[in-house]
Amino acid sequence: MTGERQSMPIEKNEQKTELKNDAPWILLRGLARESRHWGDFPEQLSTALGVEVFCPDTPGNGRLNGEASPLSISATLERVRREIGYRAPVNLLGLSMGGMIATEWARLYPQEVSALVLANSSFGNFSPPWKRLWPNAFLSLMGSLRLTTEQREVRVFDLICERSEDRQARVDEWVGYSLECPLSPSNFARQLAAAARFRAPDQTPVANTLVISGLGDRLVNPDCSAAIARRWGVELRAHPEAGHDLTHDAGEWVVDTLVEWGGR
C-alpha cells in the first residue's frame, strides 16, 4: 500500500427513495470478471427482494470471452443492453468498472433505470489515477499476468477479498472459470483502457442513486466512492471492513442495505 486508508463518514440523505418493487435488478461486474464471480449473491438478492436478478457478461469476459472488449464504456454498455433486451425500468448495481457501465446506462437511457447503485467504483474526472487504483495493486495485477492461472487467481483474491475463510474454495472456482473462459491479455488491456478513459456526468443521471463501499478496499481507494457521493449529493454507505469485492465480503450487508434504502 502506498497510503493509509481512512474511514470515510457516511453521508445522509433524508429524501425518501421510492423504487419500483417489481423491477428486476441487473448486476454488472468489473474489470476482468464474469457473471459467475458474483457467487451466490444474485440468489440472496432475488430471495430478499422477490424479483428477478440478471447477471450479464461483458464483452471479452465469461461466455463472451471470444469477443473483443470495447475501448469505451459506452460501447460495452450497448453490448450489455443487447444481451439483456430490457427496455422497461430496471435497477442497476455496478461493482467497480461495472459501476461505470451502470452510470453510462443511466446517463444515456434514464427512462430505463429505476435505481442506480455503485459499489467501490471510481471516475476519472472525480478522482486521480493513484486513488482509482492503488499503485501497489496495479503493479501486483500486472505481475500476475506472468503467473500460472492458479497463482494469478490467488493473487487476485488476496487483493479484492478481505473475508478469507472460503479462500481456497473461491480460488478453485475462479481457476475453473478462467480455464473454461480465459481472458486474453489484449482484452484485459482494452478493458483497463476503457475504464481509464471513462468520464462521469457532473450530476447523478437518476434520482434514486446510492453509493456503497468497503473501507478495507485494497484495490481502489475508498475516497473514490466518497468523491462520487459528494459530487452528486447522494447517500454513501460504507462497510467498515469489506474489501473491493463487496458482495463477497459483505453480501448480507449489501442486501440489507438495498432493502432498507429502497423502503421495502
Residue of 90, 87, 106, 86 whose CA lies nearest to 26: 90
Q: Is 262 helix (H, G, I), strand (E, B) or coil?
A: coil
Strand 209-214's sheet: what is its strand order? 53-54, 25-28, 90-95, 113-119, 209-214, 235-239
Residue 63 — φ and ψ, nearest 5°?
-75, -5
pLDDT at 21: 67
Sign of CA dihedral 227, 221, 241, 201: positive
Of the pLDDT bands very low, low, confident and very high (cuts 50, 70, 90), residue 11 is very low
List the beta bridge partners of residue 118: 94, 211
Of the pLDDT bands very low, low, confident and very high (cuts 50, 70, 90), residue 86 is confident
CA dihedral 154, 155, 161, 166 (to 10 degrees): 10
H or E element that contains 239: strand 235-239
pLDDT at 262: 83
Q: Angle at Cα 244 formed by Cα 72 and Cα 39, nearest 5°?
A: 90
Residue range 194-230, pLDDT digits in tens: 999 999 999 999 999 999 999 999 999 999 999 999 9
C-alpha 155/C-alpha 144 separation (Å) is 7
pLDDT at 3: 35
Written in H, E and C, the secondary structure of 167-235 is: HHHHHHHHHHHHHHCCCCHHHHHHHHHHHHHCCCCCCCCCCCEEEEEECCCCCCCCHHHHHHHHHHCCE
Residue range 115-126, pLDDT digits in tens: 999 999 999 999
Written in H, E and C, the secondary structure of 8-63 is: CCCCCCCCCCCCCCCCCEEEECCCCCCHHHHCCHHHHHHHHHCCCEECCCCCCCHH
Look at the domain 25-261 and name its fold. Answer: Rossmann fold (3.40.50)
Residue range 24-80, pLDDT digits in tens: 999 999 999 999 999 999 999 999 999 999 999 999 999 999 999 999 999 999 999
C-alpha 222/C-alpha 77 separation (Å) is 25
Of the pLDDT bands very low, low, confident and very high (cuts 50, 70, 90), residue 22 is confident
Residue of 94, 59, 61, 41 whose CA lies nearest to 228: 94
Whether residue 191 contacts residue 250, with contact meaning beta carbons closer than 8 Å, is answered with no
pLDDT at 6: 36
pLDDT at 242: 98
C-alpha 126/C-alpha 232 separation (Å) is 10
